[in-house]
Structures are given as structure tokens and as C-alpha cells.
Structure 1
């Protein structure tokens, strides 16, 4: 069991899955309320909301894996809440991923 200890349920993991579920719920509502036509962006191929979500999730995974490979997950700050909440450098990768997702949804 020690080999999978790194897979622990943490606050960032919980936030990721809550946001993923919220994204899927909003996109389902959008698909019902506002049916869409395919859109052609900078890639010059027709894409839908689902296509752009898939591309943005794959991009986020690649960004996080590359971040871990190059920079690691060291603590960059400690918030003075409760006993002190440590912020991992992965939060910076998350911010980059969100910015890239917005760019993908706007341009692809």
C-alpha cells in the first residue's frame, strides 16, 4: 500500500473533481438550453464545446505532468489559517492550465 500513498485524497484533488463536475453540469445545461453548431477556430477544423473541453483537459494534464517533472511539488507559501495551510507549487500549474483552457475555448 505504500506504493500508492501519493494518491491520497487531498484538497487540490477534491477541488479538481468538484470543478470538473461543475464544468460538466454547466456544459450539459448549455447543450440543452443553447444547442450549438460546430465552430472553426485557429486550428481550421470544426469543433464543439465537448471537443474544446477534451483538448483543454488533456492540455491541463500535460501542463501538470511537465510541471511535476521540471519543478516538483515543493511548498511555495503557507497560509496563516488554522494550523497553517501549505500551498504547493502545483497551484501555479493550475493557474496556467485555467488560462490555457480559457484560451482554448475562445480560439479553437
Structure 2
């Protein structure tokens, strides 16, 4: 059924984190409804808005890293492409920043 996609460990961890965040946000919203607030983003947002924007940013960071990892390996003279865990950690840090301060 899922043969069409390459399910590597980083891919599985990324999607598991997304599912856990969605479940956690749903439970948090039920327990304590959100209020609109203004952070560094150019508009007032709710927790769900910030999660959505953060997930989009995380996806673009990971896709961008996949796109340039071959070039990075050549530029830095590495024997193989850098691991995708680098982009995973970077994207989760940016997501946390958007959720906290956005």
C-alpha cells in the first residue's frame, strides 16, 4: 500500500511528529480555547494559525535542504550528502520559534 513512498526513518519521524502535534493541539484547544494574539508575524494569529504556518515553513526548509544537499556536498568536499537530520532539527527549531513568539 505504501510502496510508492520511500519511508526512511527521518521521513517517518517527521510525519509522526506532525500527527502528534495535531493531536496535542486538538486536546489543548479542547482544554483551553485559544485567543488571538500578535507576535512577530505580520498579523494576529491563534495557536492553530501559528502551527499551520510553522508546519509550512518546516516543510519548505526540509524540501530546500533536499534540493541543495547535493550541491552542499560538492561545495564542502564531503564524501556523501549531509544527513537530513540537520534539516529536521532546523525545521523543528523554527517551528518552535513560530509557535512561541509568532
Q: Give the aligned partner of residue 101 of structure 1.
A: 95
Q: Give the aligned partner of residue 53 of structure 1.
A: 51
Q: Does the 8 Å CA contact 2:61/2:91 hold for their aligned counterparts?
A: yes
The separation in 2 between residues aligned to 1:18 and 1:32, in whole angstroms, is: 21
State the shift of 1:10 in Å: 2.0
Q: Give the aligned partner of residue 63 of structure 2.
A: 65
Q: Give the aligned partner of residue 17 of structure 1.
A: 15
Q: Secondary structure at the match of 1:89?
A: coil
Stretches of structure 1 lacking an aligned partner (at least 5 in a row): 77-87
**Higher relative CO (CA 8 A, sep ≥ 6), structure 1 or 2?**
2
Q: Give the aligned partner of residue 41 of structure 2.
A: 43
Stretches of structure 2 lacking an aligned partner (at least 5 in a row): none
The separation in 2 between residues aligned to 1:46 and 1:104, in whole angstroms, is: 13
State the shift of 1:43 in Å: 2.3
- TM-score, L = length of structure 1: 0.74
- TM-score, L = length of structure 2: 0.78
What is the CA RMSD across the aligned residues, in angstroms? 2.3
The separation in 1 between residues aligned to 2:18 and 2:67, in whole angstroms, is: 24
Select the residue among 71, 88, 91 that pairs with 2:85: 91
Between structures 1 and 2, the one with greater strand share: 1
Between structures 1 and 2, the one with greater helix share: 2
State the shift of 1:27 in Å: 0.3
State the shift of 1:44 in Å: 4.1
